[in-house]
Amino acid sequence: MEGNNSPWVAQAFILVLYVITLMVYNRAKKEYVGGKIGAAINLIMVFVAFLFLSDYVDYFLSTLLPLSDEAKFSVKILFRLMAVCVLAFGGLRFFVSKPATSELSPVNPLPIEESIETFDMQSLDAMVNEPMEEVSPMPTPVETAAPDLDADETLVVQEVSHSKPSLGRYEILEELGRGAMGIVYKGRDPKLDRLTAIKTIRFTDDFDLDQVEKIKEQFYREAEVVAKLSHPNIVTIYDVGEDLDLSYLAMEYLNGEDLEKFTTTEKLLPIRTSIDVAIQVCDALEYAHNHGIVHRDIKPANIMILENGLVKVTDFGIARATATSKTRTGVIKGTPYYMSPEQISGMKVDGRSDIFSLGIVFYHLLTGELPFDGENLAAIMYQITTVDPEPPTKYNPKIYKAGVAILNRALEKSLDQRYQSAKQMGDHLRLLAQKLDELKAKSKSQ
């Protein structure tokens, strides 16, 4: 009797082991985010699943199909062969993945006009008779730089702790947010012991497989060019890499908020503060444009304002990598509230496209309303290309006449009538800010 029960005791023991394996797998899947370790865990779990089927083929087939012992044995062998194939061929991807290319794309300088047209001073003078609001200028931005290391200093290299999820060599600490292209994590670089923001992009989720490699190569080239930009108003890129099919950018970690929070009528920034924000974005764009880089995706979510008042523009180069490719659905990712007319028309874009997008952001910050809106994508695109926006004073009467003039110039649909460089727009904004500060000082002295 004991001899007859012993096989079932062994089967029950094996079943317990499989249950424990499943529990460990569920725990491990939560710990590792999209890296090679996570992919390896999934592969091993599929391998174990086929072994489970082969071990319990007697039980399953005896209850479902009356097969002979030879047939059951053949099915067992089939499942075990499938398990070996999964492990062998699935494991090949860990040895044949392509490294990121280091080839740099050619940098084409933009035709930037250096001359600044004479600003309409009458508009500024007219503001003297307008009511002044209490303004709180932002603190002067402080440029920070990474500390230099002496030749005799040694960096302590730490191994990545496997108690936390990882991506490449970076530890994942928490999720910061999700966007159209991927997830942004707060991470730590164990080699330099510094916090980083890690933006992940899985191109295979949105683009056809025959396009993915081309898009990845373009993405890495753009990232290398952008990583060489050094400006206080542009987020510094530390590293770019790939972990299986998950591409990522490791950037400086910022303590601040993006401008989306300040685009509602309940949380608008003071007008003077919004002008400072626009000035700093102009400085970032002017520097990037002079180095042949067009952002192509200027919007509140890509502009960070730090606690000390410094403004940082993020995501340079990402939009260009996917600009010439269609998603699997054949439509534009996201709603193009901030796109320029030439982007929507499929024309070649230069720095003036970023200026138009900045004009929309500036309008949004001052009014809490979008200049171009609609019930669907076609309506929004029609407004951007053919309809003039409502005067911003309709939503915020406190906006100064000179500010309206700057907005109108930035939002010109004609490239020739628009600001020809971010420096032009920035200079006019600085002139407006200077006049406002003078009026405020004059009103306090009276």
Q: In this predicted structure, what is the pLDDT of residue 233?
A: 95
Q: Which residue has the higher pLDDT, 430 or 334?
A: 430
Average pLDDT over residues 126-147: 43
Q: Is the pLDDT of residue 42 over 70?
A: yes
pLDDT tops 80 at residue 213: no
Which residue did the predictor score with more confidence, 352 or 52? 352
> What CATH architecture applies to the domain 121-143+153-445?
Orthogonal Bundle (1.10)
How much is the average pLDDT of 7-12? 68
Residue 64 pLDDT more than 90?
no
Does 35 score more than 80 pLDDT?
Answer: no
Report pLDDT for 102. 37
What is the token pair recorded at 367? 């009014």
CA dihedral 229, 231, 232, 236 (to 10 degrees): 0
Enumerate residues 6+ apart whose C-beta is below 8 A from 209: none
pLDDT digits (tens, 9 = 90+) for 287-301: 999 998 899 899 999
Least confident of 97-111, 154-168, 329-343: 97-111
- For residue 248, is pLDDT > 70? yes
- Report phi then psi at 232, rounded to 5: -65, -20
**Are the C-beta atoms of 299 and 335 separated by less than 8 Å?**
no
Residue 120's pLDDT is what?
Answer: 53
Mean pLDDT of 337-343: 93
Model pLDDT, residue 435: 92
Domain ranges of the chain: 2-96, 121-143+153-445
Tokens standing for residue 368: 């809490």
Task: State mean pLDDT over 37-46.
Answer: 72
pLDDT band at 313 (very low <50, low <70, confident <90, very high): very high
For the whole model, what pTM was predicted?
0.63
Burial label for 114, CB within 10 Å (0-12, 13-18, 19+), is exposed
Do the Cβ atoms of 332 and 299 come closer than 8 Å? no
Name the residue with higher pLDDT: 399 or 129. Answer: 399
Is 70 exceeded by the pLDDT of residue 173?
A: yes
Share of the chain above pLDDT 90, in %: 34
- Predicted local confidence at residue 220, as pLDDT: 76
Which residues are the active-site residues?
297
d(CA 418, CA 421) in angstroms, rounded, equals 9
Confidence check: pLDDT of 326 > 50: no
Residue 4 predicted with pLDDT over 60: no
Q: Which residue, 285, 260, 313, 273, is CA-closest to 424?
A: 285
Q: Give the CA radius of gyration of the chain.
A: 29
- pLDDT category of residue 73 using cuts at 50, 70 and 90: confident
**What percent of the chain is predicted at pLDDT more than 70?**
67
Q: What's the pLDDT score for residue 426?
A: 96
SS3 for the chain is: CHHHHHHHHHHHHHHHHHHHHHHHHHHHHHHCCCCHHHHHHHHHHHHHHHHHHHHCHHHHHHHHCCCCHHHHHHHHHHHHHHHHHHHHHHHCHHHHCCCCCCCCCCCCCCCCCCCCCCCCHHHHHHHHHCCCCCCCCCCCCCCCCCCCCCCCCCCCCCCCCCCCCEECCEEEEEEEEECCCCEEEEEEECCCCEEEEEEEECHHHCCCHHHHHHHHHHHHHHHHHHHCCCCCCECCEEEEEEECCEEEEEEECCCEEEHHHHCCHHHCCCHHHHHHHHHHHHHHHHHHHHCCCCCCCCCHHHEEEECCCCEEECCCCHHHHCCCCCCCCCCCCCCCCCCCHHHHCCCCCCHHHHHHHHHHHHHHHHHCCCCCCCCCHHHHHHHHHHCCCCCHHHCCCCCCHHHHHHHHHHCCCCCCCCCCCHHHHHHHHHHHHHHHHHHHHHHHHC
Burial class, 436, CB count within 10 angstroms (exposed 0-12 / middle 13-18 / buried 19+) = buried
- What pLDDT sits at residue 117? 40
**pLDDT exceeds 80 at position 18:** no
Q: What is the mean pLDDT of residues 353-378?
A: 94
